[in-house]
Amino acid sequence: MRLDYYLPDGFPDEARSHGVLAARLGFDGIMASETRHDPFVTLASARQVGMDLGTSVAIAFARSPMVTAMAAWDLAATNRVTLGLGTQVKVHAIRRFGVEWDPPVPRLRGYMGALRAIWQAWQTGEPLRYEGEFYRHTLMTPFFDPGPIARPDIPIYVAGVGPAMLRLAGEAADGLHVHPFHTVRYLDEVVRPTVDEAARAAGRSGPVSLAASVLVATGRDRAELAAAVETVRRQIAFYASTPSYRRVLELHGWDVGASLSALARRGRWEEMVVDDEILHTVAVVGSPSEAGAELRRRYGERLDRVGIYPAFGLAEDVWEEVLRGLRGG
């Protein structure tokens, strides 16, 4: 299991210090998300020699495959790169990014096909000929060809929650980014079986990789831990209020989704909380060493890559203790 440092959502020029910290602490990789800032620019600022770089995730349909292919290729020229792609939801695609909305699963399948065709053309010099339902790329002249790189095989991970996207991960992706709002039971009973069954049906050999950031509440003392628990409890409640994530609630028999959604619609954010059972099942809670050991126990045999949800940045000494616990030290 490789350990990823999930960058907090600050301006890209702030990312370099986090990259230095991640390297000093011994993380294997650095992950950037797309919320307020461009994840590729952020990774370019944070990258350290020898560390993996990944997007968790970049919004695919906001960019043409060619633009995404170039950004990932440029990063992969110096570092190992994992390209994580997400689709976002319809209202954000149309009203925030200003792009058309198509059925996301077939379109993302075509997007991945286009990326691989573009990279193949750059690496081999073969003509670029990709013609699919949603994307067509048939022109690559030497002037615009960046040429081959040492690590051309860029794994593509997709972010998935619903069964259709989980199946797409199994059929066509190299890995799946599991949403932070998950449980071990959900991984074991829904995610892994769905992905593996789709991979077998597609005739693929070997397991599809799983990566996730995990909600963690920890602190040096009771006061810090209590503050972290409150923050994480409210983050879980926010996710639980979203209908798209109800499958996790339904699996456990937690009948709180409708009431939390109603509070969210009325803007009553301070009233949105979850009980201790949900908190401790979804999140890892405890002292730094306890949190690290629990991360190892829950995910050591389940995930290929793991990190801590970026909204809850930890001080360096807390990180060190968490990592010691995670590594069994």
- Residue-wise pLDDT for 98-120, tens only, equals 999 999 999 999 999 999 999 99
CATH of domain 2-217+284-326: 3.20.20.30
Q: What is the mean pLDDT of residues 59-79?
A: 97
Distance (Å) of CA 165 to CA 46, 90, 103: 30, 15, 11
Q: What is the mean pLDDT of residues 74-89?
A: 96
Q: Hey, what's the torsion of the CAs at 152, 155, 159, 161, to 10 degrees?
A: 150
Q: Report the distance separating Cα 83 and Cα 38, nearest Å.
A: 13
At 75 the three-state DSSP class reads helix
Convert 228-251 to b/e letters by CB count within 10 Å (16 or more is b): bbeebbebbbbbbbbeebbebbee
pLDDT band at 313 (very low <50, low <70, confident <90, very high): confident
pLDDT over 90, % of the chain: 91
Query: Which tops the pLDDT comparison, 314 or 212?
Result: 212
Distance (Å) of CA 56 to CA 100, 192, 211: 23, 19, 9
Distance (Å) of CA 269 to CA 36, 115, 257, 294, 310: 21, 40, 14, 30, 21
Q: What is the mean pLDDT of residues 125-147?
A: 97
**Whose CA is closest to 179, among 112, 253, 109, 89?**
89
Confidence (pLDDT) at 149: 98
- Rounded to 10°, the helix 104-124/163-172 angle is 20
Beta-carbon contacts of residue 59 (< 8 Å; ≥ 6 apart): 34, 85, 86, 87, 88, 97
pLDDT band at 205 (very low <50, low <70, confident <90, very high): confident
Mean pLDDT of the chain: 95
Q: Is 223 exposed, middle or buried (0-12, 13-18, 19+ CB in 10 A)?
A: exposed
Which residue bears the tokens 């620019």?
41
Q: What is the mean pLDDT of residues 313-322?
A: 91
Confidence (pLDDT) at 62: 96
**Whose CA is closest to 241, among 217, 283, 213, 271?**
271
What tens digit of pLDDT does each residue of 6-58 get?
999 889 999 999 999 999 999 999 999 999 999 999 999 999 999 999 999 99
Convert 133-155 to b/e letters by CB count within 10 Å (16 or more is b): ebbebeebeeeeeeeeeeeeebb
Single-letter amino acid code for the residue at 329: G
What tens digit of pLDDT does each residue of 214-265 get?
999 999 999 999 999 999 999 999 999 999 889 999 999 999 999 999 999 9
Which residue bears the tokens 């230095």?
20
Q: Report the distance separating Cα 307 and Cα 302, nearest Å.
A: 13
Confidence (pLDDT) at 311: 65
- Is residue 149 within 8 Å of residue 119, measured between CB atoms? no
Beta-carbon contacts of residue 291 (< 8 Å; ≥ 6 apart): 216, 217, 218, 284, 285, 322, 325
Q: What is the mean pLDDT of residues 115-127?
A: 98
Is the pLDDT at 204 greater than 70? The verdict is yes
Is the pLDDT at 5 greater than 80? The verdict is yes
Give the global pTM.
0.94
